Each structure stands twice: as C-alpha cells, then as structure tokens.
Structure 1
Amino acid sequence: MPTTFIEHVNLTVTSPARTARLMQHLFGWHVRWQGAARDGGMSIHVGDARVYLALYAPPVEAERRYPKGQPLNHVGFVVDDLDAVEAKVAAAGLKPFGHDDYEPGRRFYFFDFDGIEFEIVSYR
C-alpha cells in the first residue's frame, strides 16, 4: 500500500473560523489546532486524524486574495454519500454545480464563501 498522501492544504481565506465551521458541517471534521500564525495572521487547522486544511488569514486584507487558478484550481474530497454532502452544501447557502458521472465516480463542485472551488466525488 502506498505511504504517500497529502497531509494538508494551506488556503488563504477571509475568515478561518467560518471556513472551519463549513468543513465541520460538510465532513464531520474537528479543529485540530488554532492560533497565531506568520506575519501576525491567524490559522485554524480543521480535519480528521490524518488530513486537514490549514486555513490562514493574514492581518492585511490586500494580502488575502489570489486569482482563481493561480496557483490553485480546486481541492477535491472523496465522500461516501455524495447526495448527503450536496444537501449540506446547499443548506450552507452555497450552490452546487458541474454535476457529472464518469469513471471512477460521481461528482459535483461548489465555490465557498471566498470563491475557492471544491470538488466532491464519490466512488460508490
């Protein structure tokens, strides 16, 4: 079995607490750590025992935005119940789009509150 996996992705967001609450709502994750971060910013690590998102907000608003696709297009998550997660995305006031069903699984996308694109896929 391969031992290489992505442990975390570090995303710059406007509100680490809001994004952490969304990830807890969607995936049942928990806050692993939170506190002061580089350059006077703030970070929250939200995930499970193995993987997490590092959600960072710098102290200066102008430093918070990266144009879409530079350097990131989207972050993908595998879930057991695609329909349940889609319902949670909609309940959070976000709009699922790009539904498709091709090998190896069904999927949809959504943009979070900061315009970060996420792909949700199920192989079931």
Structure 2
Amino acid sequence: MANARLEHVNFSVTDGERSARLLEQLTGWHRRWEGPSLDNGRSTHLGDDHAYVAIHTSPRIAGDFAKSVPMNHIGIAVDDLDAAEAVVIEHGLETFNHGKYEPGPRSFYFFDWDGIEFEVVSYE
C-alpha cells in the first residue's frame, strides 16, 4: 500500500478574505495562490509547502450551513494553544469545550462565522 498524506481541504464560506485572515493569524500559513474560481467566485489556498486549505466563496453561497452536514470539524495543531485562543477571541469568535485527552493534546473548539467548527490542539 502507498504512503499517503492529506494534501488539501476545500470548504466554502460567505467571506473568504475574513476567513483567510483568521487562519493566517491562527496558523502562520501563507497564501499559496488566490484568484477567480467556480461560480464567479474566488478561492484562496492557504497553507505551507506540503498541504493547504482552499477557502472558496461565490455569490451563490448564502451561509446558513448546518453543523455536521456533512463535515464535523477541521483540526489544526498549534505550538501555543493560549496564543491561538487569543487570536480566535480577537476575531470576535467564542471558544468552547476546552479539554485535555490522555495521553494526547490540550484543545478547544470554535465555530467560524459560517458555522464551520474548528478544533485547535496543542501537543505541548
């Protein structure tokens, strides 16, 4: 069997620039590419040299996405969980479900403006 890795995740939001700014500050990722996309939209590819998220928006995206339909959440690992939480709060978002799972990471969750759930973890 071949070795595999996640290359990208593509999701839709109502305000791509706002979402990109949040994720840039939260992760330190850079904009690999951005430009016109499907349905007269715009996409931003944000990540590192190995993987990225494709943040898509278009006039057809109205919001009101339902939780867990079909995606549950996006997990992001960071070095400093407290600093990451401060970034999320600075953007006016609420964090919840803080926890530590043995023997794993500390974590918290938040919903972005479109109801997409993120889990932020730190293995510090």
Task: For residue 50 of structure 1, give the secondary structure of its aligned residue in structure 2.
Answer: coil
Give the count of matched residue pairs: 122
Greater fraction of residues in helix: 1
Shift of 1:65: 4.8
* 1:32-64 deviation per Cα after TM superposition (whole angstroms, max 9, x unaligned): 1111112222111111121211011122244x5
For structure 1, the 5+ residue unaligned runs are none
Q: Distance in 1 between matches of 2:118 and 2:99?
A: 14
For structure 2, the 5+ residue unaligned runs are none
Structure 1 runs of 4+ aligned residues shifted over 6 Å read none
Structure 2 CA distance for partners of 1:27 and 1:39, relative to 1, 3 Å: same
> Does the aligned pair in 2 maintain the 1:36–1:42 contact within 8 Å?
yes
Partner of 1:114: 114
Partner of 2:85: 86
Is 2:58 aligned against 1:58? yes
* Normalised TM-score (structure 2): 0.90
Query: Sequence identity, in percent?
Result: 51
Q: Distance in 1 between matches of 2:92 and 2:65?
A: 23
> Does the aligned pair in 2 maintain the 1:99–1:109 contact within 8 Å?
yes
Is 2:69 aligned against 1:70? yes
